Homo-oligomer: A and B are copies of this chain.
Amino acid sequence: MHETMHETKLDIPQILSRLPLFQELAPEQIAALESACRERRLAKGEMLFQKGDPPKGFFVVVFGQVKLAFPSSQGNEKVVQILGPRQSFGEAMMFMDRPYPVFAEGLVDSLLLQIGSVPVFELLQRDPMFARHMLAGLSLRLHSLVQDVETYSLRSSAQRVVGYLLQQCPQSKSGEASFDISLPTSKQVIASRLNLTPETLSRIFHDLSANGLIGVSGKQITINDVNRLREFDL
Contact = CB atoms under 8 A, between A and B. Distances in A.
A101 interface: yes
A119 B76 CA distance: 47
A146 B143 contact: no
Nearest to A153: B78
Contacts of A95: 132, 135-136, 139
A175 interface: no
Given A78-B153, A131-B128, A132-B124, A102 B146 contact: yes
Contact of A70 (B98, B132, B141, B153): B153
Interface string A150-177: 1011100000000000000000000000
B153 A142 contact: no
Measured as residues with beta carbon below 8 angstroms from the partner, the interface class of chain A is: 35 or more
Chain A interface main SS type: helix
B92 A138 contact: yes
A153 B95 CA distance: 26
Given A128-B125, A131-B128, A131-B135, A96 B140 contact: yes
Given A78-B149, A102-B146, A135-B135, 16 more contacts: A70-B154, A72-B154, A78-B153, A80-B146, A80-B149, A92-B139, A92-B142, A93-B143, A96-B136, A96-B139, A98-B143, A101-B147, A121-B132, A131-B131, A135-B138, A145-B145
